[in-house]
């Protein structure tokens, strides 16, 4: 028996690389079509700043028959500085004149009082706890995530006799997960549902529910 774990927020970032948008309903219906699938768990935050839209999106997830795991999205204020605009190796390529221009620009922005808030809702701990509490009769784990933070957990689950399947995309799946899984599944080959070439995200915290 299989249990699937979908880190949905992580998966939405795949759309930018794939250059097409998926429907999570089609992913879940495809998973339920697998005879050995016991349970599908979807992890996704509740955006209290866009509560109506976020609740509607949650209901869509529940309507698929999957189990929704959620918690409030936190907004982290980020300091506007050179490091926020450029990677260190890029800054090092600039001459002193250009570096000074960048500093002047950053100072002007800081003086306006503008700030940036980044939505954060990481489910690594919740997914870890759920996998450790996984039913004994479940023989395999199907993980939709490329995050290397899951390496130690998957290694532990493998020692318990679980087969590990990782679903991801090229460039978004860590080498650690490639090394630990029994089988890697390319999401582009796995997904057979409807695709849209509109690059507007389905993530409600990024402007739409599509």
User: Is a pLDDT exceeding 80 seen at residue 135?
Assistant: no
Shared domain for 105 and 201, answered yes or no, is: no
Shared domain for 64 and 133, answered yes or no, is: yes
Q: Is 181 helix (H, G, I), strand (E, B) or coil?
A: coil
Three-class HEC string of 88-128: HHHHCCCCHHHHHHHHHHHHHHHHHCCCEEEEECCCHHHHH
Task: Give me the pLDDT at residue 153, please.
Answer: 93
How many whole angstroms from its chain centre is CA 109? 31
Shared domain for 30 and 93, answered yes or no, is: no
pLDDT: which is higher, 134 or 75: 75
In whole angstroms, how far apart are CA 113 and each of 79, 83, 106, 110, 204?
A: 11, 18, 11, 6, 27
106 CB-near residues (< 8 Å, 6+ apart): 80, 81, 82, 85
User: What is the rounded end-to-end Cα distance, in angstroms, of the chain?
Assistant: 32
Q: Give a yes or no: residue 2 inside a domain.
A: no
Burial (CB count <10 Å: 0-12, 13-18, 19+), residue 50: middle
Q: Give a yes or no: residue 153 inside a domain.
A: yes
Span 44-100, pLDDT tens digits: 999 999 999 999 999 999 999 999 999 999 988 888 888 878 888 888 888 888 888
Span 22-52, pLDDT tens digits: 999 999 999 999 999 999 999 999 999 999 9
Q: Give a yes or no: residue 167 inside a domain.
A: yes
Q: Choose among 103, 109, 108, 157: nearest CA to 129.
A: 157
For the chain, what is the mean pLDDT?
88
Task: Give me the pLDDT at residue 208, please.
Answer: 36
0.85 surpassed by pTM:
no
Strand pairing report for 37-43 and 2-7: parallel
Q: Give a yes or no: residue 128 inside a domain.
A: yes
Contact present, 166 and 4 (Cβ < 8 Å): no
Shared domain for 40 and 125, answered yes or no, is: yes
Across 11-19, average pLDDT: 92
Shared domain for 66 and 140, answered yes or no, is: yes
Q: Domain limits at 50?
A: 7-73+121-206
Shared domain for 65 and 133, answered yes or no, is: yes
User: Is a pLDDT exceeding 50 seen at residue 206?
Assistant: no
């Amino acid at each position: 028996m299989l249990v699937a774990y979908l880190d949905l927020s992580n998966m939405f970032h795949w759309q930018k690389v794939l250059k097409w948008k998926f429907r999570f309903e089609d992913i879940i219906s495809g998973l339920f079509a697998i005879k050995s699938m016991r349970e599908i768990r979807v992890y996704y935050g509740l955006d209290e700043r866009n509560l109506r839209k976020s609740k509607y999106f949650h209901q869509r997830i529940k309507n698929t028959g999957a189990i929704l795991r959620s918690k409030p999205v936190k907004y982290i204020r980020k300091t506007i500085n050179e490091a926020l605009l450029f990677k260190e190796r890029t800054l090092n390529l600039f001459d002193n004149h250009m570096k000074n221009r960048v500093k002047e620009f950053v100072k002007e922005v800081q003086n306006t009082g503008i700030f940036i808030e980044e939505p954060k809702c990481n489910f690594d701990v919740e997914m870890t706890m759920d996998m450790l509490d996984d039913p004994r009769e479940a023989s395999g784990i199907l993980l939709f995530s490329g995050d290397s933070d899951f390496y130690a957990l998957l290694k532990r689950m493998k020692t318990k006799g679980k087969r590990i399947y990782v679903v991801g995309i090229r460039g978004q799946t860590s080498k650690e997960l490639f090394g630990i899984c029994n089988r890697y599944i390319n999401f582009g080959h796995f997904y057979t549902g409807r695709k849209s070439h509109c690059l507007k995200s389905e993530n409600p915290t990024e402007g739409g529910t599509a």
